[in-house]
Chain A
Amino acid sequence: MSRPPREPGLQPERTRLAWRRTTLTQAVGALLLLHTAAEAASAPVWAAACCAALATGVTFVAGRLRRETAPPPRPAMVLTAGLTAATALLCLVPPL
């Protein structure tokens, strides 16, 4: 079986790397929040930290669900952005 000609712009690779980069950024954000939660020991901060950790997991899975030239299923994309929004909302709760 002959391989298809390589795409000159390496778009699929760039997109795969963009998902990894996003997962990594989410993980760093989640770790920062977990560290804060461990020190502050308040419920809203723990909630934000757990939400961020969940967002990291969802982003990782979404990045795995996508195909070479097609985005992941829409619910995965909605959750990726939605859980980030939820984390931001929880970060607005007073103790943080």
Chain B
Amino acid sequence: MTRRRRGAGPAAGRAGAGQADEYGAGDADGGVEPDYRFTLANERTFLAWVRTGVSLLAAAVAVRQLVPPFSVPYAREILAAVCALLAFVIAVRAYPHWRRAQSAIRRGGPLPGSRLLPLLAAVLAAVAAFTTVLVWAGGTA
């Protein structure tokens, strides 16, 4: 597959280093301008993390506002807080993760691993287990 440069169309007219820097091209990370498809894939991954965060937030609000109270005290509050907290951590980590991946792509090095992935899986498993117990054993108040 041929590697295509980003410089097609008006975007090729990138003059000063200052402008390049603003768009993350003349990065302090150095490296070379990568195949734009890698850049785009990284951008979509960033957006997917943002959407995951927003969805968790919506879940938190829905649990708190729409679900009837369980017999276990503060069960809804705990579920909502855990979801909102996870949403916060994900949203905070999304940009640094994009940046690290971008610099790895530019250097041609291995992509950085993400601790967010196991964290998300573990917390969601815990939330699912807790909810299962609540629904089956707890019942509504």
Contacts and interface: CB of A to CB of B under 8 A. Distances in A.
A15 B46 CA distance: 11
Contacts of A80: 50
A28 B55 CA distance: 9
B10 to A, nearest CB: 8
B44 A88 contact: no
Contact of A88 (B24, B57, B65): B57
Contacts of A33: 61
Contact of B44 (A15, A67, A69): A15
A46 B59 CA distance: 18
Contact of A81 (B60, B85, B92): B92
Interface in B69-105: 80-81, 84-85, 87-88, 91-92, 94-95, 98
Contact of A84 (B11, B50, B85): B50
A77 to B, nearest CB: 6
Contact of A73 (B22, B55, B91, B98): B22
Interface of A: 4, 7, 9, 11-12, 14-15, 18-19, 21-22, 25-26, 28-29, 32-33, 36, 39, 52, 59, 66-71, 73-74, 77-78, 80-82, 84-85, 87-89, 91-92, 96
28 contacts: A4-B9, A11-B40, A12-B40, A14-B40, A14-B44, A19-B47, A21-B47, A22-B47, A22-B51, A25-B55, A29-B55, A32-B61, A67-B11, A69-B6, A70-B11, A77-B95, A81-B50, A81-B95, A82-B91, A84-B54, A84-B91, A85-B53, A85-B91, A88-B84, A88-B85, A91-B60, A92-B88, A96-B60
Interface of B: 6, 8-9, 11, 22-25, 36-37, 39-41, 43-44, 46-51, 53-58, 60-62, 64-65, 80-81, 84-85, 87-88, 91-92, 94-95, 98
